[in-house]
Chain A
């Protein structure tokens, strides 16, 4: 599962441009499940289990990641851009990026700190004031390599550091994809449906159609969620913590979760010695928002991997949490199937 995650994080796939990620996932699952690609680009997969259960259970993880899109090229050859998904200006300034499928290297340019007035030195420019510098001398030169609509991603490698931590771009939600791939390669006790969704970061668009097509009775969204367990943050503001296992949400900005499913996740975790923690802030949202209102309604649960610095070039997770998420996802899925 860890090698799969490394491979997945090396691919880029902004919302609506998930092709690379989709291609990789299909290669991984094609010998283990039946699948098709729906009109929006979701992978819908069916995995035959040992038994056919009473209920149809769908597991979902999104393939897309946050990034940027080039919307203008200035006379001098700088690229203006806007974000695709939510990215804070604070993590964009001065970062290396690459543009388009040819991976043209660039950097998000800054007015040098030396030329700022003293009250400007901590002011962050808005994304509309930023630009990408690819070293072009003018617009014509830039246009040889760049087209409007090209996608931009942070240049950021995958590495392990400290005591069992991983840093990478796009762990949100390639971690969920890695868990689902692993489950498809396993031999589940019951039939399961899988959705690798597109366009989560711009409004849960893939999940909506995937849930419609699968028409599940139960759904489990496998995600990476925001952990704020960093220096100076205390109590509920930490949201969740690395190394404390799978995160289960009672509510976020898109979904009020089914309490029975929420409780059952904790019971199953405790019974099976899996580390689990609640998400202690109502913040963020994920594919559950679209899935739980699909058709006549779907009972939905979110199981997440705690992840620091979400939506930045340097997302950080703890490797051991991945195992807890994987185990709890399987146990809850089997429990819901047989409900």
Chain B
């Protein structure tokens, strides 16, 4: 693990900040600070954190989303319980008795309500409650809750990041802060190297609610090529083998009709030449990531997808391997150094 200490610290810093879709400022601030070590950084109209470096050569866009799934306050009931809806693809099966933070003016601790086994019937044990039937207990009277909390406030799943065996990390929001970390790490690897292209980095907002950030960010970028860095399914019990990669076996290189084949081939070649472990992930049409909207931006942007394998996606206990994040960074850096030449 020691070899990835710095990377681990960076990831912990990124997951420690909140950024539910549409309210990414906490996480964006941390990411912008880190990015400004390498380039000038701006925030665009929708809130994307954007940085550029380099003057000449082809424009390459590096994209990872800064937002995370969560919930959004829809109301406060007469007893002070907070009603919520999903903000992004929240897995409702994990919500009962889950600790959360309500991001009102000040962060407030709370617990998602649940019915204990002493009172539940056999159906309760088999079926997760609908999100509209759940509420959040913030330990306040209705009067106080209504002054303190407003509809529209975001809610995150809380949980301290934990180190598991080997180089594995378990935390909420690793989707897609590890993508952000991989890009930042690749910039570190490129430091002091001469690069023959103009790099645009965007940490895009609102991926989990449909990809609005990537759409507008890539419009502004003038990019010819894009590498989207996101997470994908890592193998675990009950998951069909063909739908996942393995934790610790390197970035998953996407193959899909919407993804650019030449970029894939170049990346694969570089991975082999540089001895970077990788896995191939094949998707039937679109990818369910920012790559989908970036590809059709303006007259079109050639797009590649690198996915970091992750278990328990959209739960408070997402799990990744640090080596995978590092190898993703190595592959991005090697691709950019190689890019001075042409793709075949």
Contact = CB atoms under 8 A, between A and B. Distances in A.
A109 interface: yes
Interface residues of B, number: 67
B12 to A, nearest CB: 14
Nearest to B317: A107
A124 to B, nearest CB: 5
A48 B79 CA distance: 45
A104 B112 CA distance: 26
Main secondary structure of the interface of B (DSSP, over half): loop
Given A94-B93, A165-B139, A309 B165 contact: no
Given A91-B96, A135-B166, A135-B319, A161 B108 contact: yes
Contacts of B129: 90
Contacts of A124: 93, 125-128
A162 B138 contact: yes
Contacts of B312: 94, 107, 109-110, 112, 133
Interface string A8-52: 000000000000000000000000000000000000000000000
A113 B166 contact: no
A78 interface: yes
A76 B234 CA distance: 13
A25 B253 CA distance: 56
Contacts of B99: 156, 167, 313-314
B184 to A, nearest CB: 23
A117 to B, nearest CB: 12
A231 B83 contact: yes
Given A107-B319, A163-B139, A135 B170 contact: yes
Contact of B127 (A114, A122, A142, A237): A122
B13 to A, nearest CB: 19
Interface in A234-273: 237, 239
Contacts of B5: none
Interface in A298-322: 308-314, 316, 318
Contact of B237 (A74, A105, A112, A126): A74
Contacts of B313: 112-114
Query: Which of B144, B168, B288 is packed against the most chain A CB atoms within 10 Å?
Result: B168
A281 B30 CA distance: 50
A94 B315 contact: yes
A142 B160 CA distance: 22
Given A114-B314, A122-B130, 19 more contacts: A88-B114, A91-B96, A91-B114, A104-B165, A105-B162, A107-B317, A124-B126, A126-B126, A129-B238, A131-B237, A134-B165, A136-B166, A167-B109, A230-B81, A231-B135, A309-B97, A309-B113, A309-B116, A314-B97
Interface of A: 74, 76, 78, 86-91, 93-96, 104-115, 121-124, 126, 129, 131, 133-137, 141-142, 145, 155-156, 159, 161-165, 167, 226, 228-232, 237, 239, 281, 283-284, 308-314, 316, 318
Interface of B: 77, 79, 81, 83, 89, 91-94, 96-99, 108-120, 124-130, 133, 135, 137-141, 144, 159-160, 162-166, 168, 170, 233, 236-240, 243, 248, 288, 311-317, 319
